[in-house]
Copies of this chain bind each other. A is one copy, B any other.
Amino acid sequence: MGLGAAGAGTLLMRPAFASPAAGPAEGEGVGFAVVGLGLLSQGQILPGFHSAKRAKLTALVSGHPDKATRLAAKYGVARDAIYTYENYDRIVDDPRIQVVYIVLPNAMHAEFTIRALKAGKHVLCEKPMATSVADAEAMIAAAKAADRKLMIAYRCHYEPLNLAAMRLIRSGKLGKPRMVVTQMGRQASLSDPADVWRLDMKMSGGGALADMGIYGINGARYLLNEEPVEVRAWAQTDRKDPRFREVEDLIAWQFRFPSGAIANGSTSFDYAPTMSYQVECTQGRLVADPGAFYNGNRLTVQTGYQSQVQAIHEIDQFAREMDWMADVVRGKAPLVSTGEEGLQDMRLMKAILDSVAQGGATVSTAFGYTRAVDPAKVVDVPA
């Protein structure tokens, strides 16, 4: 993407967070170990280090030695920086690793996050952060006990289109938001190894809801910058479809917000690819369609009867969030997508599945969580 060598670029950042760092000197880079070398790692995360400016790939952790060796060669990782799931705890003695990025199946997040924290490393963990509220709470407790950072990889919190959408809503130019509608889904396939575990309830924690729907749950919250107090959900799942023996397929939920807004969301592993949302406000509306693909996203803003596609600076979203994590570690950026932020989504996903299990009953979600840091207020986008 032509962003120059690591550390050479300019990060637009608010003065409050531009104070001198306690971490590595400018340009040195923060070492990352990537744990789990599936499709997401191979397709997005490892290539993302090419565009990253401060996050530096220094180690790999995998259950497949051949794959790890091949990828280490491809990405310039030292042979002795390849770890297995068994000898993973030895990272404690590896000064090349400051951050561990957890890209494993969801059910393994808690264990590998806690082991990394115990080894004194900071953790960037893919979402959903776990497969249960209890695991998520244990991860947060482990980070506190170890005095290390735990960031959940909500890439949309650092991405220009979504930041533009949040800021436009916060600005009041569209009036008051009343309705958020999110559609998040794709076709999952049992013949795709990356989907086999996502169709397993124990490994995924919730099928499409955990894989795709979470973008809509989190999206409604960051678009409105408030938390829902009630949720209810219906599912439509064909149990004869071998993909959906354990997990729900289509789930459509409703969130009620204290401000007077409602969010209607849906997710399915039987959709053509969609990650779209729209926000209906009193004086205007915005449509992000697609709004959370890796690239090619499009934001349309309508005021009155006029609509206009916004110019959005497209970035490597994975490089961006890894650089943000590097800056958190260096003391140059606040932790935005915290463990508590991830825990809130875990609670909301559980509430949605509880509602489905109870035939669509209304479930209270007044958990008392308030986001500590509004991404719209602190995250700037690389020039």
Are A179 and B266 in touch, CB under 8 angstroms? yes
Q: How far is the CA of A363 from the CA of B159 in the complex (A)?
A: 41
Which residues of B have CB within 8 Å of A207? none
Are B272 and A303 in touch, CB under 8 angstroms? yes
Q: How far is the CA of A274 from the CA of B303 in the complex (A)?
A: 10
Interface of A, helix, strand, loop or mixed by DSSP: strand
Contact of A264 among B175, B178, B264 (CB under 8 A): B264
Shortest distance from the beta carbon of A177 to any chain B beta carbon, whole Å: 10
Q: How far is the CA of A274 from the CA of B259 in the complex (A)?
A: 21
Which residues of B have CB within 8 Å of A264? 181, 252, 254, 264, 266
Which residues of B have CB within 8 Å of A41? none
Q: How many residues of A contact B (CB 8 A)?
A: 47
Selecting from A66-74, A280-288, A372-380, the interface stretch reads: A280-288
Which residues of B have CB within 8 Å of A260? 236, 238, 250
Which residues of B have CB within 8 Å of A282? 187, 270-272
Which residues of B have CB within 8 Å of A234? 254, 256, 262
Which residues of B have CB within 8 Å of A179? 183, 250, 252, 266, 268, 271
Are A287 and B284 in touch, CB under 8 angstroms? no
Shortest distance from the beta carbon of A226 to any chain B beta carbon, whole Å: 13
Closest to A187 in B: B282
A137 within 8 A of B: no
Shortest distance from the beta carbon of A351 to any chain B beta carbon, whole Å: 15
Are A174 and B272 in touch, CB under 8 angstroms? yes
Shortest distance from the beta carbon of A77 to any chain B beta carbon, whole Å: 31
Shortest distance from the beta carbon of A207 to any chain B beta carbon, whole Å: 14
Are B280 and A266 in touch, CB under 8 angstroms? yes
Q: How far is the CA of A274 from the CA of B254 in the complex (A)?
A: 20
Which residues of B have CB within 8 Å of A250? 178-179, 260, 262
Are A280 and B304 in touch, CB under 8 angstroms? no
Are B304 and A273 in touch, CB under 8 angstroms? yes
- Interface membership of chain A positions 356-377, coded 1 if the CB is closer than 8 angstroms to chain B and 0 otherwise: 0001101000000000000000
A51 within 8 A of B: no
Q: How far is the CA of A268 from the CA of B302 in the complex (A)?
A: 17
Q: Which residues of A contact B (CB under 8 A)?
A: 174-176, 178-179, 181, 183, 185, 187, 232, 234, 236, 238, 250, 252, 254, 256, 260-262, 264, 266, 268, 270-274, 276, 278, 280-285, 287, 289, 293, 296, 302-305, 359-360, 362
A-B contact pairs, 16 of them (CB 8 A): A176-B270, A178-B271, A179-B250, A181-B266, A183-B278, A232-B360, A234-B256, A236-B262, A252-B264, A266-B280, A272-B281, A272-B303, A273-B304, A274-B280, A287-B289, A293-B305
Beyond contacts A181-B264, A274-B280: 14 other A-B pairs, Cβ-Cβ < 8 A, are A175-B272, A178-B236, A178-B270, A181-B181, A183-B278, A232-B360, A234-B254, A236-B262, A252-B254, A271-B282, A272-B281, A272-B284, A272-B302, A273-B304
